[in-house]
Chains A and B, each alone.
Chain A
């Protein structure tokens, strides 16, 4: 994607997270797909034997499975050039002071964990393959809320891991779920006991620093009966000439009457392939909400899913994508209705400019027995110029009685009359375009906690700056 070995930023004119640290690590695996690396990861982590076996099984499954022929273009993704495991420090710290200096400086520059002190219930920070920091407010810890790195989760709660790991997203689900299961490292383990409400968000921050690295975090979240929690993740990386790969797997279990919101603000640099599987099982009367914003990456393929398996369960996906030059955002969502009276809603908003492409890809499936279920899908695409592209791939399958399904899709070009109107009030062309775009994504932004809403508006302004004449 880049020439002359010079890093290029082809999306927004300015990407403030593009700085890089020296690559000094405790351990760095040889690049490429090797069975020994899988063994090595498991050995270094001191994992139980079942996990080692599962990794190897997933590795074989990955090798035997063809690349997906749909979605984005993966032809340039060269696994031989990817380093699948990099260990930046020897363990996950609970005290910020103990985090290695370089990493600490990086996260300080990114505003972590300053934010924690103000408005978060807990913070995790992952650097390359490992969580370098994980901490939670003591009051929540006392109530039995667990917020750990996945590695520590597996060590301390092996029974929970044995019971739930890979049950929501099995390694046979898709090629990249298999890849993640083989090489997984880092990610969060969250458990919220029955009836406990975590009022402030838990945040995880993901940072790729090295060139040509793969990050395969694995997150497991269990929200017990009647409990509620909001989890927020953010992602950034420096620009390199060699592409990096981020391929996480997120498994969520929302028990009866529980409520979970998972918010992503993905702002990878435009040399990162972002191929993520996120799925939630939702019990009776439970509510799962995915708020998914994809601004960065070279290619994102990401379709958060809800499996509505309990009566009256509700799933919601709010998806926002911004595709600039050289970017393809293939995003959307899946809703699988298994039980009677379940309901779902997908709202997708995409913005494309300067040859960028955004696609909505969605599936709503209502299985026999899910009588009286409802689903509504609304996709709005905004094109900022004539080189930009948008596509919609909606699939709806209904095999149950008395089902109400709605689907609406609109594509709009930014209107000359809108711009003339705003400019007639003194806004420059850039300010006018930014205003129309901010208004377009307002329904999503207003769902974000205030600090993130401000951050999102800032990111959008950054995406828009220098975008016109």
Chain B
């Protein structure tokens, strides 16, 4: 049975400042959702809150993965349950190679299932990694480079998608994976995601622009404004935003936001 990720009336603060004011969203495994909206309306906050970033405090609401509330779980437990975040700004870990990092991440998952697990055999890991690198058109030398250390913006995004391809979560949030990419890099990264997605993966694509959605076709599009999802629709909603921009959203919903403040 397909897994279900449900976000119910989620309120999130940084310090005293409210950033999410009641977000509700349900994603099934196999579905692709797009989350759009102007800057600073809470899209990345939702991504961080899902993964349990310690700087983001959930003040009310629930995040249910197949009925289990993950809010009481640590970031690594959420990851091992099947949540994944492709970061907008991936962090460098100097001295740790991409391959070593990925193997450690795979083994952490295996050990969580079976404390006696000896880890993935090296030949099996190499073979798998080589296949994924090829799929994403990443030169094999990247496996030996230090994780995100001195990588260009585009290289970092590709390595995020590589991690997605290797770790095979149930749900992946792509936080502006398209930002900072030129058109060729965007095509490679987005087709990579498209190749990974299927009935076993639910995807939430966070973006400002419609163009990534030409490659990763969403069934559902949501618009976020002022910490809430204010519009939801099909793929045509993304096209409307591309044509008309966000001004109509601002005009339609700014009053409500101001009134509340």
Contacts and interface: CB of A to CB of B under 8 A. Distances in A.
Interface in B47-69: 51, 53-55
Given A415-B91, A421-B87, A442-B95, A426 B80 contact: yes
Contacts of A435: 93, 96, 101, 104
A423 B91 contact: no
Contact of B79 (A416, A417, A426, A442): A426
A388 B193 CA distance: 43
A454 to B, nearest CB: 13
Chain B interface bracket (under 10, 10 to 19, 20 to 34, 35 or more): 20 to 34
A4 interface: no
Given A420-B54, A423-B75, A425-B163, A438 B96 contact: yes
B6 to A, nearest CB: 20
A102 interface: no
B95 A438 contact: yes
Contact of B104 (A427, A429, A441): A427
Nearest to A439: B95
B76 interface: yes
B65 to A, nearest CB: 14
Contacts of B74: 423, 429
A152 interface: no
Interface string B205-238: 0000000000000000000000000000000000
Contacts of A403: none
A206 to B, nearest CB: 29
B54 A426 contact: no
Contacts of A415: 91
B185 interface: no
Interface stretch (B35-43, B105-113, B117-125, B252-260): B105-113
A107 interface: no
Contact of A429 (B76, B87, B112, B167): B76
Contact of B91 (A418, A428, A431, A440): A418
A423 B74 CA distance: 8
A139 interface: no
A439 B93 contact: yes
Contacts of A427: 76, 104-105, 108
Nearest to B110: A426
B104 A424 contact: no
Contact of A423 (B79, B93, B112, B163): B79
B216 to A, nearest CB: 21
B246 interface: no
Which of A418, A424, A432 neighbours the largest number of chain B CB atoms within 10 Å of its CB? Answer: A424
B146 interface: yes
Contacts of B101: 422, 425, 435
Contacts of B76: 423-429, 432
A421 B75 CA distance: 9
B108 A428 contact: yes
A420 B94 CA distance: 15
Interface string B86-105: 01001101111000010011
A233 B77 CA distance: 42
Nearest to B79: A426
B85 interface: yes
Interface string B146-176: 1000000000000000010001000000000
Contact of B75 (A418, A420, A443): A420
Contacts of B93: 418, 421-422, 435-436, 439
B91 A426 contact: no
A384 to B, nearest CB: 15
A167 to B, nearest CB: 40
A425 B95 contact: no
B175 to A, nearest CB: 11
Contacts of B163: 425
Nearest to A431: B108
Nearest to B74: A423
Contacts of A429: 74, 76
Contacts of A422: 93, 101
A432 B167 CA distance: 17
Contacts of A417: 91
A120 to B, nearest CB: 26
Given A416-B54, A431-B108, A439 B75 contact: no
Interface string A382-424: 0000000000000000000000000000000001111011111
5 contacts: A424-B78, A427-B105, A428-B76, A428-B108, A440-B95
Interface of A: 415-418, 420-429, 431-432, 435-436, 438-443
Interface of B: 51, 53-55, 74-76, 78-80, 84-85, 87, 90-91, 93-96, 101, 104-105, 108-109, 112, 146, 163, 167
